[in-house]
Structure 1
Amino acid sequence: MSGNTAPTRLPNAGRALWPLRETGRVLTLAITVVRDTFRRPFQLRELIEQFWFVASVSILPAALVSIPFGAVIALQVGSLTQQLGAQSFTGGASVLAVIQQASPLIVALLISGAGGSAICADLGSRKIREELDAMEVMGISPVQRLVVPRVLATMGVAVLLNGLVSVVGTLGGYYFNVLMQGGTPGAYLQSFSALAQLPDLWISEVKALIFGFIAGIIAAYRGLNPRGGPKGVGDAVNQSVVITFLLLFLVNLAMTMIYLHIVPPKGS
């Protein structure tokens, strides 16, 4: 009886442990990327090329998307504050929502969808053409040569674009609140200065940095491990975007909870 039941349990056990194995491999790649970042030779030219590519495909969509995001947040917050009779806090609440939450998420989602998918497709096509195996035969680490510059590029672009999206989203919220909801410029700016503090900007940049790292690592991992031929590369691209989106929202929740426990609100 034991000889008949053992083979039927192994596939179920393998499927149950598959998420743990995948998580371990992703963490291993992340640790390898961090380690190889400080190894020589450093691929500066590849880093500059990837930085320019990721920025070129992300900067315009990020600027355009940040305007309606800032407007929607300002309009929603302004409507609620009017109902509660606290119109003077509209500026601070909407700007903090844009800087702390919307801006890093917008940047990371766009980088993952535009730059990350391209990174995954590029590495996946190299993998199925056995270019990565040829590099390993020649003693060249694909992680150091290809993955490290791409991950650093997504991190750097995320930090820079986060500042751009914060400014554009704040201006968009200011415009719609003042011109469409009858808010006053003085009250908008005064509430912002009364509620905002420097750590709010720092946590936004730290989020963007970590989110860019996550987007680069997931895209690189799926690109290095496609299943099958060209169809497998396409599936890997889709999986990298979906997995990155899920991880970004979970990590954002965790970082926001930690930040609110560590940094007290201004004036408390």
Structure 2
Amino acid sequence: MAVQFVSLVRGVGGMGLMTGEVVKGAFTTKFQFREFLEQAWFIASVTMLPAVLVSIPFGAVISLQVGNLAGQLGAQSFAGATAVLAVVREAAPMAAALIIAGAAGSAICSDMGSRKIREEIDAMEVLGIDPVIRLVVPRVLACLFVSVMINGIVIATGIGGGYFFTVIIQGGSAGAFLSSFTALASLPDLYISMVKAALFGFLAAIIGAYNGLNAQGGPSGVGRAVNEAVIIAFMMLFVLNSIMTAIYFQIVPQDGL
């Protein structure tokens, strides 16, 4: 138990130090623009289609559930606004985060781990090249950028799917669905969604990079590091989402009917 606790503390501290190095390196060193573009394109290529495929059932399920509940309460006209709030505030950033952590985070971890066991990281350090600045910073920024982009795609697709299932499938009013947007939804809802997506993408990349750079035990060790990175990222994302949502409700006043 003591060994596991020490390992946990060491891991949290190491991720904190890496976060500081990444933030500092992003503003104080030469930006690896080419590496950033390559990583952003790779991450987008492996996450774009899953994001679209996930967002459609997300919007459909939320709209169906909210539409049925609103109909039972006699508030069918507010089904659109409620579905939009659910998609924008929670479903979209969480879907983007899970896709980024599962696909991009694991890819970053396996890449860093493979470089570690091939001693490429040690060779870079011998040559005086900081692997965090050269490899981690562009990948973290690429994850952050793509996560925000995917969040926007999930929002648009989820709302479109919600409109289809609410208006076409359930026979709701298109005018009521659209006009109810302004009743409960507001720009801060979109802002917090984008901030969540950016932080989730940043965190997933940091966890993946840290686990990869600390992988040990050959190829099997890289596999274990990838599994740990995905599990830790999922847990941290849910915890961070709960904290940010609670803070948001305390800071931003909510509109009434």
Q: TM-score range by the shorter chain?
A: over 0.9
SS in 2 for 1:38: helix
Corresponding residue for residue 40 of structure 1: 29
Question: Deviations for 1:86-121, whole angstroms, at most 9, x for unmatched residues?
Answer: 111100001110001000111111111111111111
CA RMSD of aligned residues (A): 1.1
Is 1:133 aligned to residue 122 of structure 2?
yes
Cα drift, residue 161 of structure 1: 1.3
Q: If the length of structure 1 is used for normalisation, what is the TM-score?
A: 0.93
Q: Percent identity?
A: 59
Aligned counterparts of 2:212 and 2:104: Cα–Cα separation in 1 = 13
- Match for 1:236: what amino acid? A
Aligned with 1:253 (options 238, 242, 245): 242
Equivalent residue number for residue 189 of structure 2: 200
- Counterpart for residue 101 of structure 2: 112
Counterpart Cα distance in 2 of 1:246 and 1:35 = 26
Q: Which amino acid aligns with 1:245?
A: F
The one-letter amino acid of 1:195's match is L
Q: Which residue of 1 aligns with 2:11?
A: 22
Q: Matched residues in 2 for 1:266 and 1:18: separation?
A: 45
Question: For 1:220, which of 209, 219, 234 is the aligned residue?
Answer: 209
Alignment of 1:52-131 (within 5 A): 52-131=41-120
Counterpart Cα distance in 1 of 2:170 and 2:233: 36
User: Offset at 1:79?
Assistant: 1.1
In structure 1, stretches of 5+ residues that fail to align are: 1-11
CA distance in 1, matches of 2:141, 2:66: 36
The Cα shift of 1:178 comes to 0.9
The size of the alignment, in residue pairs, is 257
The aligned amino acid for 1:143 is V
Distance in 2, matches of 1:246 and 1:148, equals: 23
Q: Paired residue for 1:5?
A: none
Contact 2:102–2:230 under 8 Å retained in 1 = yes
Mapped contact 2:117–2:216 kept (Cα < 8 A):
no
Query: For residues 235-257 of structure 1, what are the alpha-carbon distances to aligned partners after superposition, in whole Å with 9 as ceiling and x for unaligned?
Result: 11111111111111110000000
Q: Which one of the candidate residues 147, 164, 173 is aligned to 1:175?
A: 164
Query: Runs of 4 or more off by more than 2 Å in structure 1?
Result: 12-18
What letter corresponds to residue 188 of structure 1 in structure 2? F
